[in-house]
């Protein structure tokens, strides 16, 4: 199972939104699509989902099925949650609709509200209904456009766990404005800028949800293994002339801990500065 796009271009009037976009994704990948507003993220996702057609280029998904949850998450507000999911299942010609709907309701945590009308639900629950509808047919490729909009921190954590749990045999593409979200979930990030993929890089998945870099300049050489053992330090690399780069993944600022360790090694700090993660630097 793979997804291959070649030279995808799309314009709206005189505005070129996508300009010869190439990408190739494989099973098991969680891919983050990052870009500013108007970069063409939603347009690219809609083309992959088969909602809109490209002006040029080709898209190959083989026999793979595609599930798409739009940024707007359109739902029929007057329908009941179970009624809506049953209707979506009927439309997708899913066999054994009842048990599949029950599975989706359970999977995304809608059991408490399954008997309610959609217009009575909070934004977070509506997002879950959209996600449940996307998962109903067990698609091979799942596209989530800004999926955490409106979710509270607990719901975001639950949603991340859910996405990770279903990712092993699927291709998941998600777009977000939040770099932390991409860092926390994705194996790979695509940066879309002016309709082109500006960056395509693999990511080390964040554990704490807050990645940053510390640049350290000392008066002498450092025992790097001691620093690498500190909580939150992912990697230490030398920049030459007693300068080091520390990749950190920690919820809090660990510069005081680093300071203590450097002092313990009998060294003096000439400079210590915290920088945004490399992804943030790319994004800016």
Partner 1 sequence: MKALIIKEFKDYWSNSFGLISVAVLLLLAFLFLWVFPDSNYMSYGLAEGDLYFQFFSYLLLFAVPAYTVGFLANEYRFGTEELLRSLQIDWRTALLAKFVAALLVLLMILVLSSTHLFVVYQLNLTSSTIPFAQIIGSYIGLVAVGACYIAISLMVTSFVQQTTASFVISVFVCFMLFSGFSLLSDLPVFQGGLDFWLERLSLSYHADQIGRGILRLSSIVYFIALVTWSIWLSSFRLNTKEV
Query: Where on the chain is the footprint of partner 1 (CB under 8 A)?
Result: 12, 46, 49-52, 68, 70, 72, 74-79, 87-88, 90-92
CB of 72 to partner 1, least distance (A): 5
d(CA 22, CA 20): 6
Least distance CB 232 / partner 1 (angstroms): 41
In whole angstroms, the minimum distance from the beta carbon of 108 to partner 1 comes to 17
Residue number, 57 or 209, with CB nearest to partner 1: 57
Q: Which is nearer to partner 1, 43 or 213 (CB)?
A: 43
| Shorter beta-carbon distance to partner 1: residue 91 or 239 | 91
Closest CA to 70 of 200, 173, 153: 173
Q: Which residue from 229, 268, 227, 266 is spatially nearest to 245, judged by alpha carbons?
A: 227
Give the separation between CA 130 and CA 147, rounded to whole angstroms.
9
Q: How near is the Cβ of 55 to partner 1 at its closest, in Å?
A: 11
Quick one: 87 or 103, whose CB is closer to partner 1? 87
Note the helical H segments in the chain: 41-49, 81-91, 97-107, 123-135, 153-166, 179-185, 224-228, 255-264, 278-283
In the complex with partner 1, the residue whose CB is nearer, 122 or 281, is 122
Reading the block at residue 101, the tokens are 């709907």
Whole-angstrom Cα distance, residue 85 to residue 105?
9
Residue 121 CB, nearest approach to partner 1 (Å): 14
Tell me the β-bridge partners of 249.
211
Output 79 or 102, the one with its CB closest to partner 1.
Answer: 79
Is residue 192 within 8 A of residue 198, CB to CB? The reply is yes
Give the shortest CB-269-to-partner 1 separation in angstroms: 54
What's the CA dihedral at 249, 193, 61, 71 to 10 degrees? 80
Give 39's contacts (C-beta < 8 A, 6+ positions apart).
Answer: 192, 193, 194, 195
């Amino acid at each position: 199972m793979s997804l291959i796009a070649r030279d995808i271009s799309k314009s709206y009037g005189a505005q070129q939104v996508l300009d010869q976009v190439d990408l190739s994704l494989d099973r098991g990948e969680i891919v983050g699509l990052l870009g500013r507003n108007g970069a063409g993220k939603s347009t690219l996702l809609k083309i992959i989902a088969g909602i809109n057609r490209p002006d040029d280029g080709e898209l190959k998904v083989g026999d793979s099925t595609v599930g798409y949850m739009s940024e707007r998450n359109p739902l029929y507000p007057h329908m009941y949650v179970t009624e809506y999911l049953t209707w979506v299942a009927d439309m997708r010609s899913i066999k054994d609709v009842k048990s599949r709907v029950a599975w989706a309701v359970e999977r995304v945590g809608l059991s408490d509200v399954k008997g309610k009308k959609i217009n009575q639900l909070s934004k977070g629950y509506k997002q879950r209904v959209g996600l449940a509808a996307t998962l109903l047919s067990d698609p091979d490729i799942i596209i989530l456009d800004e999926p955490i909009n409106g979710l509270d921190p607990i719901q975001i954590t639950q949603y991340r766990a859910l996405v990770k749990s279903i990712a092993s045999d699927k291709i998941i593409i998600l777009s977000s404005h939040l770099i932390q979200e991409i860092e926390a979930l994705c194996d790979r990030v695509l940066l879309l800028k002016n309709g082109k993929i500006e960056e395509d890089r693999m990511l080390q998945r964040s554990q704490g949800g807050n990645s940053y870099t510390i640049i350290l300049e000392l008066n002498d050489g450092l025992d790097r293994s001691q620093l690498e053992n500190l909580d939150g330090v992912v990697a230490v690399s030398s920049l030459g002339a007693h300068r080091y780069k520390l990749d950190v993944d920690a919820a809090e600022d660990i510069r005081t801990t680093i300071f203590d360790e450097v002092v313990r090694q009998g060294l003096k700090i000439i400079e210590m500065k915290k920088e945004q993660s490399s992804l943030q630097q790319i994004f800016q």
